């Protein structure tokens, strides 16, 4: 997202072991413990208040090795949630809702009703991956909050260095052991603990990356897999930045056309609407907007604008919030930015953004130079000025205390059962081309195309997508090649 915020954002919006390249899979981990299920006592809703779990909802913990190379060594607990099947049970269906860094425990607690059809036949299960929230979550003091509140011309490199030092001080033990490869090994321990011979899995956004890495390492353990909002981990940082900038530019243009068609406060034609939004964000560099005792800064303004572009259902909010902010009231935009960054009503943050940083820096050896970042910014600025990052001198992982590697970028699920990949033509964060490329790299992938807007197709509520996915997960009906769902 800039540097730090811009380079957190671009290339990390997805969001998105030792790759086997189709050779021998990783040996199965030693079977871990069993899960002691009990009442859920700490579920948190989007308003920061405690959620009351619905019927059949249980929480638990699964001990896993901190270092998978030392399976009998120190353990950390993975936090789990389960919504028990309401009908004739086929097994468990494990979810990852993206990030990287999103709490699967809180997400499933809020979203379970969206999967009610699947929940008739499966226990719906999710977890906080290692380094996230309740599972040894990465914390970094208040440095991230100060980065968000900083002036556009602040010394971002110094802030990034301080951020890295604080993360090391507070979470140094877990930082070398986060990342998608280790999370995939945890997934196999979870599969065994749930008593399933094969893992049935539903991954969204970054969750498609985790699923692809799992299938690469444990192809024979792949059950019914759905990867929705697909991410191709093989692309470089520059390619991610440019492709995502293109995706969000297309989403902003689609929003502008839709807004004008319904009488838009932001301009008389689509080009005017786009210019209004771009000029507004640019203006925050020199004139942040006061909101109570806080400010909508340039960094927060960027996040506020892109957040409603993720789903067509939230486009009206972008119009209303921007129109209000142009009149001096940025309350809604600030709330949108807070929802993106995991800020709670009491001013604290969950680990979403700090976990994202730790996982991304573990998953990539790439560390762009200042010259590379300048070139990337110039390309991004021409495509989607809202996410430009002038003055950035390096990537978000420059000062990170742990060196990354590229093991999680290699994907090849040869030998696995068919894996359903769902790609949306209007997906801004994980553009359609990544669905096609990930399908090819998996070698066992089957592509389903959704022609509508938004990030992730199943949760759009599209009847065709839902019917196709449900038939595959419940009945094992693999979709035909070229299956397409119109918007």
pLDDT for the residue 23: 34
Q: Which of 217, 177, 220 has its CA nearest to residue 197?
A: 220
Catalytic residue among 26, 92, 455, 470: 455
Q: Are 17 and 177 in contact (CB under 8 A)?
A: no
State the CB neighbour count (10 A cutoff) for residue 29.
18
Asked whether residue 17 carries a pLDDT value surpassing 50, the answer given is no
| Count of helices and strands (H, E) across the chain | 15, 11
pLDDT in tens, 68-118: 999 999 999 999 999 999 999 999 999 999 999 999 999 999 999 999 999
pLDDT of 178 above 90: yes
Which of 195 and 20 is assigned the larger pLDDT? Answer: 195
DSSP-assigned letter for residue 219: G
pLDDT at 267: 97
Task: Write down the residue that tokens 């689609």 correspond to.
Answer: 254
Note the pLDDT of residue 24: 36
Confidence of residue 394 (pLDDT cuts 50, 70, 90): low
Catalytic residue among 427, 460, 462, 470: 427
| Confidence at residue 154, expressed as pLDDT on a 0 to 100 scale | 82
Q: What is the DSSP letter of 220?
A: G
Q: What is the H or E stretch that residue 472 is in? A: helix 463-475
Question: Closest by alpha carbon to 230, among 398, 54, 424?
Answer: 424
CA distance 437 to 212: 12
DSSP reduced 3-state for 50:
strand
Number of residues assigned to the chain: 487
Pick the more confident residue, 324 or 49: 324
Residue 44 has a pLDDT of: 82
Whether the predicted model's global pTM rises above the 0.85 cut: yes
Residue 309 has pLDDT above 90, yes or no: yes
Of all residues in the chain, the percent with pLDDT exceeding 90 is 81
209 — pLDDT class (breaks 50, 70, 90): very high
pLDDT over 80 (residue 270): yes
Q: Is 427 a catalytic residue?
A: yes
Structure-derived torsion over alpha carbons of residues 257, 263, 267, 269, reported in degrees to the nearest 10: 40
Torsions phi, psi of 393, nearest 5?
A: -110, -5
Q: What phi and psi values does residue 357 have, to the nearest 5 degrees? A: -60, -45
Q: Which residues pair with 78 in a beta bridge?
A: 62
| CA distance from start to end of the chain | 30
Q: What is the mean pLDDT of residues 422-436?
A: 96
Structure tokens at 203: 């991954």
The catalytically annotated residue of 205, 355, 388, 460 is 205
Q: How far apart are CA 82 and CA 98, in angstroms?
A: 18
Task: Quote the Cα angle for 475-124-137, to 5°.
Answer: 140
Residue 28 has pLDDT above 70, yes or no: no
What was the pLDDT predicted at 371?
A: 87
The DSSP line for 100-142 is: TT--HHHHHHHHGGGGTTGGGTEEEEEE--TTBTTBT---BTB
Q: Say if residue 3 is preceded by a cis peptide, omega within 30 of 0.
A: no
Which residues 6+ apart lie within 8 Å of 338 measured at CB?
none
* Average of per-residue pLDDT values in the chain: 91
How many CB atoms sit inside 10 A of residue 376's CB?
27
- What's the rounded mean pLDDT across residues 157-164? 90
Output the six-digit token pair for 376: 């990337």
Instruction: Please say whether the dihedral angle defined by the alpha carbons of residues 409, 410, 413 and 419, taken in this order, is positive or negative.
Output: positive
470 or 151, which is more confident? 470
pLDDT at site 133 = 96
Place of tokens 């097994």: 91
Q: Which helix (H) or strand (E) holds 445?
A: strand 445-453
- Cis amide bond preceding 360, omega within 30: no
Average pLDDT over residues 138-158: 88
Residue 127, pLDDT score: 98
Burial category of 74 from C-beta neighbours within 10 Å (exposed 0-12, middle 13-18, buried 19 and up): exposed
What local confidence, expressed as pLDDT, does residue 10 receive? 47
More confident site: 413 or 153: 413
What is the predicted pLDDT for the residue at 16? 34
Best CA proximity match to 190, nearest among 129, 272, 235, 273: 129
Q: Where are the alpha helices (DSSP H) in 219-343?
A: 237-261, 270-283, 298-306, 315-326, 331-341
Q: Which of 100, 104, 99, 102 is nearest to 125 (CA)?
A: 104
Q: Give the distance between the most distant pair of CA atoms in the chain.
A: 65
Q: What angle do CA 308, 313, 319 make, to 5 degrees?
A: 55
| Catalytic status, residue 205 | yes
pLDDT of residue 391: 62
Find tokens 């762009």 and name the residue. 368
Percent of the chain exceeding pLDDT 70 equals: 92
């Amino acid at each position: 997202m800039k540097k730090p915020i811009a380079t957190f954002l671009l290339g990390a919006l997805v969001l998105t072991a030792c790759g086997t390249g189709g050779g021998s899979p990783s040996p199965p981990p030693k079977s871990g413990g069993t899960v002691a299920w009990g009442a859920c006592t700490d579920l948190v809703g989007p308003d920061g208040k405690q959620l009351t779990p619905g019927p059949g909802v249980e929480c638990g913990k699964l001990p896993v090795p901190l270092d998978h190379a030392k399976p009998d060594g120190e353990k950390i607990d993975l936090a789990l949630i389960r919504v028990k099947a309401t009908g004739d049970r086929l097994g468990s269906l494990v979810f990852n809702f993206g990030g990287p860094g999103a709490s699967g425990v809180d997400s499933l607690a809020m979203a379970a009703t969206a999967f009610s059809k699947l929940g008739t036949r499966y226990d719906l299960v999710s977890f906080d991956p290692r380094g996230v929230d309740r599972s040894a979550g990465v914390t970094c003091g208040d440095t991230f909050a100060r980065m968000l509140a900083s002036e556009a011309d602040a010394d971002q490199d110094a802030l990034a260095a301080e951020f890295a030092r604080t993360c090391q001080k507070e979470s140094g033990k877990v930082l070398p052991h986060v990342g998608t490869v280790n999370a995939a090994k945890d997934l196999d321990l979870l599969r065994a603990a749930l008593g399933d011979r094969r893992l049935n899995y539903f991954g969204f956004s970054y969750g498609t990356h985790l699923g692809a890495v799992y299938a690469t390492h444990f192809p024979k353990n792949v059950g019914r897999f759905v990867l929705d909002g697909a991410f191709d981990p093989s692309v470089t940082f520059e390619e991610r930045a440019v492709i995502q900038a293109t995706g969000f530019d297309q989403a902003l243009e689609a929003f502008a056309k839709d807004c004008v068609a319904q009488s838009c406060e932001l301009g008389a034609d689509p080009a005017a609407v786009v210019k209004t939004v771009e000029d507004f964000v640019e203006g925050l560099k020199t004139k942040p907007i006061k909101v109570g005792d806080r400010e909508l800064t340039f960094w927060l303004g960027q996040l506020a604008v892109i957040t409603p572009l993720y789903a067509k259902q939230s486009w009206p909010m972008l119009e209303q919030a921007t129109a209000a902010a142009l009149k001096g009231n940025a309350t809604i935009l600030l709330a949108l930015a807070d929802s993106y960054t995991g800020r709670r009503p009491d001013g604290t943050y969950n680990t979403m953004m700090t976990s994202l940083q730790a996982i991304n820096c573990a998953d990539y050896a790439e560390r762009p130079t200042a010259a590379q970042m300048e070139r990337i910014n110039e390309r991004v600025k021409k495509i989607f000025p809202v996410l430009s990052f002038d003055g950035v001198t390096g990537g978000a992982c420059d000062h990170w205390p742990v060196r990354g590697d590229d093991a999680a970028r290699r994907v090849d699920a040869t030998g696995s059962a068919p894996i359903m990949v769902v790609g949306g033509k209007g997906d801004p964060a994980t553009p359609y081309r990544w669905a096609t490329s990930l399908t090819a790299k998996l070698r066992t992938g089957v592509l389903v195309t959704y022609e509508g807007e938004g990030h992730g197709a199943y949760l759009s509520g599209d009847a065709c997508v839902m019917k196709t996915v449900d038939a595959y997960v419940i009945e094992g009906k693999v979709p035909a090649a070229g299956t397409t769902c119109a918007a």
